[in-house]
Amino acid sequence: MLFVPLTSITISSSRQRKEILGDDLIDLANSISKNGLLHPIVVRKSGEAFQLVAGERRLRAVEYLATLGEEIEIGTHKVPYESIPCTDLGDLDPIDAFECELEENLRRVDLTWQERSEATSQLYELRRLQREKRQETPLAAGEFARQVYPDHTPQAANAAVKAELMVAKQLKDPEVAKAKSIDEAVKIIKRKEESARNAALGEAVGRSFTLAAHTLLKGDSLEILPSFPNETFDCILSDPPYGMNAENFGDSGGKASGTHSYNDSLDNWLKLINIYASESFRVAKAQAHAYTFCDLDNFFHLRSVMDAVGWECFRTPLIW
């Protein structure tokens, strides 16, 4: 055990613990002042200084007591003023020294979710490098998850580690880093990933599907359809009236009747469908699809009419 001046100890900026809680730190300092330091901090020599490996809260508490002019003890030993007891790990490989810090920090309950996610990610990378150095098979995700969360079920451990590894890569994003929980951070990441995919898709599609390649016609479809040449379209999507007297009842928002202003009688539907079936088949290409909305009670009649003009119909309705 060494007694090292507080000013000789450096703290790496890559340490997981970024927050040292005020009230908890004062409570720890009061305990050390009253009962002495139970365990030395862990350091390794780095040039003329000592780099902290584990025990930052103890270090901060002793520094706080030093500002108050207090001396501390460890066991039966009095600690020199403005010094702290240390255990020197010697000339450890940097990876192994960092692993010591990670192991200690991952088992603490007061890390923030951001700190824990970063620590889990870094420990996973360390395990990967160590296996690579020993020429062993790559570390399986499930095995690593059980190491980090030995008290969890395999499924829960896998889910927790998967979330932490995902979030650790995105902590430089201010919106992700400011999330109140890791679950909220995961939702933010997934939302942004979906937006990015949609933007990329929109850009890719936009290069070939442009205004120049499409025409929007507004009018009565039964009048417009006959104007098209045979085998014009790759797909037909139609939502005609359903033939269920919808003009006599309100919509799903509870509004009064009369919100459906078109003629939704069964007779009108039969007339529309007979024309639509034959005209849609005529203007459809050989491998085209037609998707036609309808009332479930009228599906079988619609199918028979479409079948009769040449469509090969699905035997059951496609439920929206």
| Domain span holding position 295 | 221-309
pLDDT higher than 80, residue 238 = yes
Residue 174's pLDDT band, with cuts at 50, 70 and 90, is very high
pLDDT higher than 60, residue 258 = no
pLDDT higher than 90, residue 294 = yes
Per-residue model confidence as pLDDT tens digits over 143-156: 888 888 888 899 99
Pairwise CA distance, residues 113 & 170, whole Å: 13
pLDDT higher than 80, residue 249 = no
State whether 116 and 191 are in the same domain. Answer: yes
| Predicted local distance difference test score (pLDDT) of residue 14 | 61
Q: Does an H or E element contain 29, and which?
A: helix 22-35
Of 94, 129, 153, the residue at which a domain comes to its end is: 94
State whether 15 and 77 are in the same domain. Answer: yes
State whether 88 and 118 are in the same domain. Answer: no
Contact 113, 182 (CB under 8 A): yes
Read off the tokens for 159: 């889910």
Is residue 212 one of the residues assigned to a domain?
no
Contact 168, 121 (CB under 8 A): yes
Read off the tokens for 191: 């939302």
Pairwise CA distance, residues 16 & 53, whole Å: 11
State whether 65 and 116 are in the same domain. Answer: no
Is residue 138 one of the residues assigned to a domain?
yes
Residue 87's pLDDT band, with cuts at 50, 70 and 90, is confident
State whether 121 and 176 are in the same domain. Answer: yes
Task: Give Cβ neighbours of residue 257 (< 8 Å, ≥ 6 apart).
Answer: 247, 248, 249, 250
Is residue 105 one of the residues assigned to a domain?
no
| Predicted local distance difference test score (pLDDT) of residue 18 | 54
| Predicted local distance difference test score (pLDDT) of residue 8 | 83
Pairwise CA distance, residues 273 & 256, whole Å: 28
Residue 161's Cβ-count burial label (10 Å; 0-12, 13-18, 19+) is buried
Domain count, the chain: 3
pLDDT higher than 60, residue 109 = no
State whether 249 and 299 are in the same domain. Answer: yes
Mean pLDDT of 271-285: 95
Read off the tokens for 224: 């417009």
pLDDT higher than 70, residue 63 = yes
Number of alpha carbons in the 13 Å side-chain half-sphere of residue 138 = 4
Is residue 180 one of the residues assigned to a domain?
yes
pLDDT higher than 90, residue 180 = yes
Mean pLDDT of 191-219: 84
State whether 142 and 83 are in the same domain. Answer: no
Please state, rounded to an integer, the average pLDDT across all residues of the chain.
Answer: 84
pTM over 0.85? The answer is no
Contact 273, 302 (CB under 8 A): yes
Number of alpha carbons in the 13 Å side-chain half-sphere of residue 19 = 13
Strand 83-88 relative to strand 41-46: parallel, antiparallel, unpaired?
Answer: parallel
Count of residues making up the chain: 320
Read off the tokens for 219: 């009018």
Highest mean pLDDT among 4-18, 37-51, 65-79: 65-79
Of 53-62, 152-161, 303-312, least confident by mean pLDDT is 53-62
Is residue 255 one of the residues assigned to a domain?
yes
State whether 186 and 249 are in the same domain. Answer: no
| Predicted local distance difference test score (pLDDT) of residue 70 | 84
Is residue 209 one of the residues assigned to a domain?
no
- CA dihedral 86→90→96→98, nearest 10 degrees, is 40
Of 234, 260, 233, the C-alpha closest to 248 is 260
Of 43, 68, 94, the residue at which a domain comes to its end is: 94
pLDDT higher than 60, residue 16 = no
pLDDT higher than 70, residue 21 = no
| Predicted local distance difference test score (pLDDT) of residue 243 | 93
Q: Where are the alpha helices (DSSP H) in 137-296?
A: 141-148, 154-168, 174-177, 182-206, 221-224, 266-283
| Predicted local distance difference test score (pLDDT) of residue 287 | 93
| Predicted local distance difference test score (pLDDT) of residue 316 | 93
Is residue 126 one of the residues assigned to a domain?
yes
Residue 163's pLDDT band, with cuts at 50, 70 and 90, is very high
Of 30, 60, 94, the residue at which a domain comes to its end is: 94
Q: DSSP assignment, residue 258?
A: T
Terminal Cα distance for the chain, rounded: 72
pLDDT higher than 60, residue 271 = yes
| Predicted local distance difference test score (pLDDT) of residue 9 | 82
> CATH number for the domain including 7?
3.90.1530.10
Is residue 106 one of the residues assigned to a domain?
no
State whether 122 and 43 are in the same domain. Answer: no
State whether 116 and 89 are in the same domain. Answer: no
Mean pLDDT of 122-145: 85
Per-residue model confidence as pLDDT tens digits over 210-222: 677 778 899 998 8
pLDDT higher than 90, residue 307 = yes
| Predicted local distance difference test score (pLDDT) of residue 250 | 64
pLDDT higher than 60, residue 19 = no
State whether 232 and 181 are in the same domain. Answer: no
Select the more confidently predicted residue: 226 or 52: 226
